[in-house]
Amino acid sequence: MYDLILRGGVLCDPVSAREGRFDIAFEAGKISKVAPEITAPARRVEDVTGLHVLPGIIDSHVHVSNWMGGAAGHRMLALAGVTTALDMAGPIDSVMEIAARTGTGLTLACIDYIRPGHTVEGTDPDMPELEAALARARQAGAVGLKILGGHFPLSATASGRVIELCAREGAHVAFHAGTLETPQNLHGMREACDLAAGHPLHLPHVNAYARGFEASAHLEAWEATRILSAHPNIWSESYLAPINGNSAKCSNGIPESVATQRNLIAGGYTPDLDGMAKAIAEGWAWIHLYEDGVTHLETGPVAVQAWREAMTDIGMSFFVNPPETSLSLAILKRDDGSFAIDALATDGGGLPRNDLCERGLALVHLGALRLAEFVHKTSVAPARMMGLSGSKGHLGIGADADVTVIDLAARKPVLSYGEGRAILERGKVVGQGTTMIVPPEGRARAESLRLRVHIAQAGSFRPVSPLYRA
C-alpha cells in the first residue's frame, strides 16, 4: 500500500534520463516506484493527466528574514512551487524564528551575513573576529556566511579572508560582489572572483553586475560569462525578474544600503529621506506591501504612507534589470555545453519575484531552454551545490519524495510535495513546519524551536562548481 500515487503525468527527470508518461508512487517520504503504470493500491491517488511531474524546485537564492523578505516568504515560495530554498543573508536568528512560526513545509538552509555593526565590528574584520562570527552563525543554525558587498561592503582583503576561512572550515560562502574599493558592477564581480583565490565561492545574481551601466547589457552579460569561465571554482546563479530587491530602511536620514543609495541616484533622486519619499511617490521606487499573507509591489502615495508607517523599515525594489542581461545569462552555455551560469534562482522568497515557473517556463515555451534544462538549473544543480544530490534534484527510487507538478501551458505549479508531505494542493498552501538544514553545531538551536532537522556535515554544503578540480 503506497501513501500516494501521482497518476497519468508526464515525468521529466534529467538525472535518470526519464522523460515521458510515468506514474510515480511515494512511501514513507521517499519515491518508491516509477513505472509506465502503477496499479497497486494507495492511500491517495492524484490524477495529474496533462500535467508535468518534476523533481521539487530548489531556489538557490531567497530571503525569508525580517531584515529582507519578512514573514510572507514561506507562503510565497510554496505558492511558487518551490520545495527547498537557500536564504542568502539571514540574519540567522530571524530566519530560524520565522521558519518555526510560518513554515509551509519547505526544506530551508541559511547563510548568515557578515555585516559591520551587526555580526562584525567594522569593515575590516581580522581572521579571529571572522572565526568567531562563523562559530556563532553555525551555533545559530547557519551553514555558512554571506558577504554583502553591494549593500554593506567590507575591505577587499577582509572579503578575501571570509572566503579563505569558509574554504578551510568547509562552510558555504557567497559574495554579493562589491567592496569598499570597488562598486557592484563588472569590476566588482571581477574583483570578487579574484578574491576567491581559487577557493569555492557562490556568486549570487550574476545579472546584478551586468546592468548595462558601462557597455550594452548584452556585452556586459557576455563579459560576465567570460569571467566565470576563467574561474571554474565559482558556482553562480542569476535571476529573471526586472526588479531588484532591497531595504528602504534609513538611518540618520540616509538609506542604510549602498545599493539603495545608488539606485536613487540612478533615477535622479538624492540618497536621503526626501529623495526616497519623492522616488516612491513618483513611481521610481516600489515598496513591498504585505496583504493577504503575501507581499506585492506598490508605488505612489499609498506606498509612501506604508514606508512612513513602517518607520522606513520595509522592503523595496527598483526596475533596474534589463532583459538582455537576464535572458542571456539564463541560457548562455560554455564551449563544452555546460551552462555558463550554474543555476536559475529568483532572489525572491518574501521579495515578490518568485518567478521560476512564470518566467523560467516562458523560456521553455520560447525554445530557449528544454524542459530538462529548466529542471537542471532549478533542481539538479542546486541540489548538488547544497550537498543533497543523493536525496534531492531527481526522481530516482529512494530519493526524497520532493516533487513539483506543473501546468506547463499555464506556467504555474499545481501540486508540490516535500518528503512526501503536501506543500501546495491545486494552488492552495497546505504544508506546515520547516525542515532546517543546519550544521552539527546548530542542531540544539533548531530542535529548541521544534524545527525538523537535517544535518549538513562540514564540507558537504559547499558552492563547488561541477568544473572545479581541487
Q: Which is nearer to Zn ion, 92 or 399 (CB)?
A: 92
Q: Which is nearer to Zn ion, 13 or 347 (CB)?
A: 347
Task: Find the radius of gyration of the CA atoms of the chain.
Answer: 21
Residue nearest to Zn ion (CB): 347
451 binds Zn ion (CB under 5 A): no
Nearest distance, CB of residue 316 and Zn ion, angstroms:
13
DSSP 293: T
| Of the candidates 55, 73, 56, the residue with the CA atom closest to the CA atom of residue 64 | 73
Q: Which is nearer to Zn ion, 347 or 402 (CB)?
A: 347
Q: Which is nearer to Zn ion, 224 or 422 (CB)?
A: 224
CB contact at 8 A, 178 and 149: yes
CA gap 12, 29 in Å, rounded: 20
Please tell me the count of residues contacting Zn ion according to CB under 5 A.
Answer: 2
Q: Which is nearer to Zn ion, 23 or 347 (CB)?
A: 347
Q: Which is nearer to Zn ion, 347 or 419 (CB)?
A: 347
CB contact at 8 A, 437 and 109: yes
Residues 1-40 that bind Zn ion (CB under 5 A): none
Nearest distance, CB of residue 295 and Zn ion, angstroms:
15
Residues 334-353 that bind Zn ion (CB under 5 A): 347
Give the end-to-end CA distance of the chain in Å, rounded to a whole number.
46
Binding Zn ion (rule: CB under 5 A), the pick from 15, 88, 280, 314 is 88
Helices (H), 62-185: 73-79, 92-102, 127-139, 156-169
Q: Which is nearer to Zn ion, 32 or 185 (CB)?
A: 185
CA gap 354, 173 in Å, rounded: 23
In sequence order, which residues have a C-beta less than 8 Å from that of residue 297 and are 6 or more positions away? 243, 286, 287, 288, 289, 317, 352
> What is the SS3 assignment for 126?
coil
Nearest distance, CB of residue 354 and Zn ion, angstroms:
13
Nearest distance, CB of residue 57 and Zn ion, angstroms:
17
Nearest distance, CB of residue 64 and Zn ion, angstroms:
11
Q: Grid coordinates standing for 292?
A: 493577504
- Only one of the segments 44-52, 83-91, 248-256, 397-405 lies at the binding site for Zn ion (rule: CB under 5 A); that segment is 83-91
Nearest distance, CB of residue 204 and Zn ion, angstroms:
6
* Cα–Cα separations (whole angstroms), residue 334 to 22, 101, 215, 222: 33, 43, 22, 11
CA gap 175, 173 in Å, rounded: 7
Nearest distance, CB of residue 208 and Zn ion, angstroms:
9
Positions in the binding site for Zn ion (CB under 5 A): 88, 347
